[in-house]
């Protein structure tokens, strides 16, 4: 193979987006993936979390659109939903139900397999990108420069080396980048965790006949300020007229994996809306359950020395409590950051990989602060207490959500940041801070903000159900 060559390890979302980011800067990109990749939108072993509900915030969707123009229309044509935020989201935050003001942002909802497949198809359609099935087992090079990757073929025996000008590790939360760097004499890499002991359970249901297309997304968040495990429920309308429901619980409050317990748990979170809604629906498959380490971040950018030719992104750098829905959007924004650094400095500049790693750290930071600032409050959480700055920010965010219950401009500022569409610093705009601090507090909405027809079509003869009967 002549010319310049980049190798991307892992062909899930971060890997395929990294390939899209690199393709105009090298002659060829090889995607190396351990799994057999299905031809269509189908589950696979390497991405077990794909069974659970995945939403993509607008900040992430626009980042993907910047790398692969036309992706949003392709998702929608394949059955995904574009759900306006906050107008099409019925959301109970720690501060209560949020009103459905006019939409200023959005989320894309569909099965994760479909989301990945649409991206993968576009990336692999480019003849400068090829896919190779193998497992990455180590780096080749020294402390100054990584020159290739050591691979093991699917037979488990054949080991070989693939040289490259740039290696991108996108192998997800099980990445061994920290160990590979240590093998080169670089490290140790600083790691931080805020682990609330999360577990999830998911089930897909057939949407009621008249409700699949226009029904809002429903999200009952936990309240980490309460001295009990955090329990959440989310319902997302997805392709094929189905609703995917994911329940989650922190240590001591995990959701069960049986059908009856699933509905009971959904009724026991801070509001029973989702449990009541799915109680009479026909399930499409079994309940899937799993657990995860929650928030974990590797600070690669802080290593005193960084080798040329090596970059890490996606879950391989940081994972977050999925309740905040940030992992894929951060991966997309990190791929854009990589592309922008290559555009600015070119592949040949010796410090380009280090610059890219620092830019990726900047893309990670807002999601990390938002997730860990909240999760550290849960009982029995394992992790370091947050800094004073994070604690102050958290108080300010609490205040913003309280005011957003009735001030549209504050809601807009929050959703801009929540969707990773604007930087966190935008929340400190003088108008926003003045309104946030001076607006008198008003009580939250008593009921979930469903329209009359949504309520009627959801509950039919049970439409008189008292939706306000419990609100913790």
Ligand X SMILES: Cc1cc2nc3c(=O)[nH]c(=O)nc-3n(C[C@H](O)[C@H](O)[C@H](O)COP(=O)(O)OP(=O)(O)OC[C@H]3O[C@@H](n4cnc5c(N)ncnc54)[C@H](O)[C@@H]3O)c2cc1C
Distances (CA, A) of 172 to 168, 176, 229, 425: 12, 9, 27, 29
Minimum separation from the CB atom of position 93 to ligand X (A): 16
Which residues contact ligand X (rule: CB under 6 A)?
9-15, 32-35, 46-47, 49, 52-56, 135-136, 170-172, 174, 200, 292, 314-316, 322, 325-329, 331
Q: Of the candidates 437, 424, 447, which has an alpha carbon nearest to the alpha carbon of residue 363? A: 424
Torsion (CA) 111, 114, 116, 120 in degrees, nearest 10: 180
Minimum separation from the CB atom of position 384 to ligand X (A): 22
Minimum separation from the CB atom of position 189 to ligand X (A): 17
Minimum separation from the CB atom of position 363 to ligand X (A): 12
Q: Is 303 left (phi over 0), alpha (psi -120 to 50) or beta?
A: beta
| DSSP H stretches of helix in 68-102 | 71-77
Cα-based angle 112, 201, 320 (whole degrees, multiple of 5)? 60
Consecutive H or E run containing 206: strand 198-206
Closer residue to ligand X, CB minimum distance, 149 or 342: 149
Buried (b) or exposed (e) across 336-364, using 16+ Cβ within 10 A?
Answer: bbbbebbeeeeeeeeebbbbbbbbbbebb
Minimum separation from the CB atom of position 220 to ligand X (A): 15
CA 112 to chain centre: 11
* Residue 171: strand, helix, or coil: coil
Contacting residues for 129 by C-beta, under 8 A, at least 6 apart: 19, 23, 28, 29, 30, 31, 123
Closer residue to ligand X, CB minimum distance, 112 or 355: 112
Closer residue to ligand X, CB minimum distance, 12 or 432: 12
Diameter over CA atoms, the chain: 70
Closer residue to ligand X, CB minimum distance, 147 or 232: 232
Minimum separation from the CB atom of position 470 to ligand X (A): 26
Closer residue to ligand X, CB minimum distance, 285 or 350: 285
Minimum separation from the CB atom of position 5 to ligand X (A): 17
Assigned token pair, 237: 């309308």
Contact 365/390 with Cβ under 8 angstroms?
no
Determine the Cα–Cα distance for residues 253 and 275; give it in Å rounded to an integer: 16
Closer residue to ligand X, CB minimum distance, 96 or 327: 327
Pairing between β-strand 231-238 and β-strand 166-169 as defined by DSSP bridges: unpaired
Minimum separation from the CB atom of position 70 to ligand X (A): 20
Taken in order 70, 76, 79, 85, the sign of the CA dihedral is positive
Closer residue to ligand X, CB minimum distance, 198 or 410: 198
Closer residue to ligand X, CB minimum distance, 55 or 204: 55
Minimum separation from the CB atom of position 10 to ligand X (A): 3
Closer residue to ligand X, CB minimum distance, 196 or 325: 325
CA 247 to chain centre: 16
């Amino acid at each position: 193979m002549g010319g310049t060559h980049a190798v991307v390890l892992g062909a899930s979302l971060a890997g395929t987006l990294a390939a899209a980011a690199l393709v105009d800067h090298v002659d060829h990109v090889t995607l190396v993936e351990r799994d057999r990749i299905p031809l269509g939108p189908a589950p696979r072993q390497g991405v077990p979390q794909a069974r659970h509900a995945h939403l993509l915030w607008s900040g992430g969707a626009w980042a993907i659109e910047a790398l692969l123009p036309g992706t949003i229309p392709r998702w929608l044509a394949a059955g995904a939903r574009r759900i306006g935020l906050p107008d099409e989201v019925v959301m109970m935050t720690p501060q209560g139900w949020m009103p459905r003001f006019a939409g200023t942002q959005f989320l894309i909802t569909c099965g994760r397999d479909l989301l990945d497949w649409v991206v993968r198809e576009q990336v692999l359609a480019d003849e400068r990108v090829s896919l190779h099935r193998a497992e990455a087992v180590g780096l080749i090079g020294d402390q100054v420069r990584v020159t290739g990757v050591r691979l093991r073929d699917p037979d488990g025996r054949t080991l070989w080396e693939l040289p490259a000008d740039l290696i991108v590790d996108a192998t997800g939360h099980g990445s061994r980048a920290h160990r590979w760097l240590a093998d080169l004499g670089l490290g140790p890499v600083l790691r931080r965790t805020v682990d609330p002991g999360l577990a999830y359970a998911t089930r897909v249901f057939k949407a009621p006949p008249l409700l699949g297309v226009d029904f809002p997304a429903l999200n009952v968040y936990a309240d980490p300020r309460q001295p009990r495990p955090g329990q959440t429920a989310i319902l997302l309308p997805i392709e094929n007229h189905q609703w995917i429901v994911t329940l989650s619980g922190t240590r001591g409050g995990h959701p069960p994996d049986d059908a009856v317990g699933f509905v009971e748990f959904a009724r026991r979170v801070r509001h029973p809306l989702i449990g009541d809604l799915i109680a009479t629906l026909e399930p499409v498959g079994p309940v899937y359950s799993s657990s995860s380490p929650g928030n974990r971040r590797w600070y690669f950018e802080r290593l005193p020395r960084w080798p040329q030719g090596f970059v890490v992104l996606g879950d391989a750098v940081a994972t977050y409590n999925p309740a905040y829905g940030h992992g894929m959007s951060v991966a997309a924004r990190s791929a854009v950051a990589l592309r922008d650094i290559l555009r600015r400095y070119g592949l040949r500049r010796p410090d380009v990989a280090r610059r890219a790693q620092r830019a990726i750290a900047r893309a990670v930071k807002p999601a990390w602060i938002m997730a860990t600032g909240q999760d550290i409050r849960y009982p029995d959480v394992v992790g370091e207490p947050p800094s004073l700055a994070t604690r102050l920010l958290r108080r300010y965010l609490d205040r913003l959500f309280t005011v957003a219950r009735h001030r549209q401009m504050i809601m807009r500022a929050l959703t801009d940041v929540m969707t990773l569409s604007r930087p966190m610093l935008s929340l400190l705009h003088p108008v926003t801070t003045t309104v946030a601090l001076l607006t008198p507090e008003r009580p939250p909405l008593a009921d979930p903000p469903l329209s009359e027809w949504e309520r009627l079509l959801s509950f039919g003869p049970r439409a008189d159900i008292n939706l306000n009967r419990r609100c913790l």
